[in-house]
Every structure is written in C-alpha cells, then in structure tokens.
Amino acid sequence: MTKFEEKLEKLPIKTIQHPVGDTKYYTAVHVKTLIAQADEEIVNLKSRLQQQSLPVVPECVAGAIESIPDHYSAFEAIDLIKSKVEVFTEENKDWLQVYNWLCEGIDNQDTFALAFITRKYTVEKPQLFYLKNKLTGAYLYYDEATKLYSDIVGNVEDFFGTKTKFTQQEIDSMKLGAMNRLRWRNEIRCKSI
C-alpha cells in the first residue's frame, strides 16, 4: 500500500445510503489537502533528483557511449565492449581503454550504466603535464612519425606530428631507452598544465 492510499484510508468518510447500494464519499476538503501534500512531495523529490551530480566518465568512455545505439541495454553495451576487445582485438584497439576502465571495479561499471542509460554525464578532463629536464632545461616531446621521444629546448608548443603534453598514465607507460629512461626519471620535473 502506498503512502497516498494509507492517508486516504485515514480520511473521514461519509456514507450515503441509496436503494441501489450505499456510496462512500470522502470529504472534498480533506482530499484536496491530501492532493496538495502529494504535489509538494513530488516537487521536493524532483528537486532532489535534479541536484544529484552527473556521473563523470573519461573521454574514451564518453565516445563509447555515443557510438553504442540507444536501443541497447547497459548490460548489452558492456557485453558489446567486451566482445569487441576479446574477439576482434586488432580492429578495436581503441575500445581497450574503455574495457580496462570498466574492469577497474564495480563503481566504474555502475557509473557507465548510469551514464549510458540516462545519456547524461560529465566528461573527465585528464590532467596534462609537460616533462622538463632540470639539468638541461629541455622539454620532452613525442614524434608520432618516428615513434621516438626526444627533447627540445625552448618553445614547447605542439608542432605538427608531435606531442608535448602527457597524461600521468602516458608518463608511467613511456618506453624510453635505458639511458634516457634513467636520465628522465631522475631529472624530470612534471609541470602540470
């Protein structure tokens, strides 16, 4: 029984006898009061619902949500992501980040489900860093054409085909030569952007 039905039962009832059968009437004033209370409760619940913050997802997850059709359930969407990564690995390398994020824990899966179902979410902006060698003053950059890391003194603006800003995850997974890795690990000062 709902709250509304419970309150309705507690209202004074007036019985009118009729040859066909008795009819029960609620006093109009009490019913109007009950309806007004219900309306207030609805407004209160709506405002609380609107105050809840939107789920925060990484950019790759936001892209996945946008690319999966609306008619999929959250379970089907997660299963699709899993299938893309496990069955067609080479063709779906970009889905691996989404899959790994989902595998980090049930909180991420819940966040994904909520964002997918409501299609309302906030995209997490990753914190980016410049990497600077303290001794030489050179900044590290990645040349996408040669797939090599190098250093540049002076202007750290992005040049065509180079990358000068890195996420913490990229920094942790950098594959530098043994000497470079040792030098950069010992001498780098990360500067947040």
Q: Is 0.75 topped by the overall pTM?
A: no
My answer on whether 75 and 120 are in the same domain is: yes
Instruction: Decide the pairing of beta strands 128-133 and 122-124.
Output: unpaired
DSSP label of 124: E
Show which of 106, 124, 142 is a domain's final residue: 124
Judged against a pLDDT cut of 80, whether residue 28 lies above it is answered with no
My answer on whether 154 and 178 are in the same domain is: yes
pLDDT in tens, 44-86: 777 776 666 888 999 889 999 999 998 999 999 999 999 888 8
Q: How far is Cα 186 from Cα 182, in angstroms, rounded to an integer? A: 6
Q: How far is Cα 108 from Cα 1, in angstroms, rounded to an integer? A: 36
Show which of 96, 124, 152 is a domain's final residue: 124
My answer on whether 120 and 134 are in the same domain is: no
Helices (H), the chain: 3-10, 28-51, 59-67, 74-87, 96-103, 106-118, 168-172, 178-187
Judged against a pLDDT cut of 90, whether residue 145 lies above it is answered with no
Domain tally, the chain: 3
My answer on whether 149 and 184 are in the same domain is: yes
My answer on whether 182 and 170 are in the same domain is: yes
pLDDT in tens, 77-92: 999 999 888 887 778 7
Domain that holds residue 64: 56-124
My answer on whether 64 and 43 are in the same domain is: no
Q: In DSSP terms, which residues pair with 190 in a beta bridge?
A: 131
Query: Does residue 190 sit in helix, strand or coil?
Result: strand
- Cα 151–chain centre separation: 35
Q: Residue 113: pLDDT band by 50, 70, 90 thresholds?
A: very high
My answer on whether 46 and 102 are in the same domain is: no
My answer on whether 84 and 141 are in the same domain is: no
My answer on whether 47 and 60 are in the same domain is: no
